[in-house]
Amino acid sequence: MEQICPGLPDWSALTKPACVQALATPDTFPKGRLLDYPAEWGSRSAQIIKDNDLPFASVPAGSEGALVPSWKVLPPRRNPSS
- Residue 54: how many CB atoms within 10 A of its CB? 19
pLDDT at residue 24, as a whole number:
92
The DSSP code for 66 is G
Domain that holds residue 37: 11-65
List % helix, strand, coil for the chain (3-state, nearest 5).
Answer: 35, 15, 50
- Identify whether 37 is part of a domain: yes
pLDDT of residue 61: 79
Give the chain's residues under pLDDT 70. 63-82
Judged by DSSP in three states, 23 sits in: coil
Q: What is the pLDDT of residue 31?
A: 94
What confidence score (pLDDT) does residue 39 get?
73
Is 6 among the domain residues? Answer: no
Looking at the structure of the chain, the number of domains it has is 1
Domain membership of residue 2 (yes or no) is no
3-state secondary structure (DSSP) of residue 20: helix
Give the burial class of 8: count Cβ atoms within 10 A of its Cβ; 0-12 exposed, 13-18 middle, 19 or more buried: middle
User: So what's the pLDDT on residue 64?
Assistant: 60
Supply the pTM of this predicted model: 0.65
